[in-house]
Structure 1
Amino acid sequence: MCPVASKVINLRVPEAKQVLIDRAVAVTGKNRTEFILDAVTEKAREVLADQTQFALGKQAMQRFNALIEAPLENPDALKRLLAKPSPWER
């Protein structure tokens, strides 16, 4: 297995925010680096999941609209899918 390369990210934090972060760190049992990395990674996933822009030509858009408006073949499958937590909620 190949070791994963690590990079350093430095940041300055106002004291009040550091105190808040350290209080949360103490509750989780993680170290500060793990806590911050987990929180930032979760936020990054959330932000990227919200970026759902795509472009279609006229024919592709008409096909897309037809598929969206068509009745569901298996509504129970959709219900099961929507009942699952999103990847960023896991």
Structure 2
Amino acid sequence: MPNHDRKTSKKEKSTTDARDKDMSSATAVMDRPAQRVRKRSDTTINLRISRRTRDLIDEAAAVIGKSRTEFVVESARQHAIDVLLDQRFFELDSEQYAEFLRILDNPPLPNQKLRELLKTKSPWEK
């Protein structure tokens, strides 16, 4: 608590103001939900988009309580995963499906290539 019985020097005032600012910042951080704690990123993406698109993104982000960056990164990441998974989808007729199940029921014996493949992370896990 500041001492109101004496005059405060400019240096003391600036120190007190800085401490109060730090305390209010710390309180604001503590008031945030736990999931809002951000992990520091190590790269940057710069985008040029129309103002209408930016406003649309901002509105959608606000609705779910996210920042623009959080919203864009999460949306782009999810879409990237979906695109990669779509490349792994295949359609089979009845005969092909029966053959597919036969192969699944009789897997090959483990070998070096299979072990290496199973150790490989998916692109979104790297």
Aligned to 1:85, what secondary structure does the other structure show? coil
Q: Is residue 2:105 matched to residue 1:56?
A: no
Partners of 1:61 and 1:44 in 2: CA distance: 28
Which of the pair has the greater relative contact order for Cα pairs under 8 Å at 6+ separation? 1
Gaps of 5+ in 1: 1-5, 22-31
- Matches of residues 60-79 of structure 1 in structure 2 within 5 Å? 60-79=96-115
Q: Is residue 2:89 matched to residue 1:40?
A: no
Give the greater-gyration-radius structure (CA).
Answer: 2
Aligned to 2:81, what secondary structure does the other structure show? helix
When the two chains are superposed, the root-mean-square deviation of aligned CA atoms in Å is: 3.1
Partners of 2:123 and 2:98 in 1: CA distance: 30
Gaps of 5+ in 2: 1-47
Structure 2 length-normalised TM:
0.40
Aligned to 1:17, what secondary structure does the other structure show? coil
Partners of 2:66 and 2:112 in 1: CA distance: 46
Q: Match of 1:82?
A: 118
Q: Is residue 2:32 matched to residue 1:14?
A: no
Partners of 2:117 and 2:77 in 1: CA distance: 21
Q: Give per-residue Cα distances to partners, 1:42-89, cap 9 Å, x unaligned.
A: 111223455565432221112111221223144432221121110111
Q: Give per-residue Cα distances to partners, 1:17-66, cap 9 Å, x unaligned.
A: 33xx6xxxxxxxxxx4xx65443321112234555654322211121112
- Percent sequence identity over aligned pairs: 17
- Which has the higher mean CA deviation after the structures are superposed, 76-85 or 48-57? 48-57
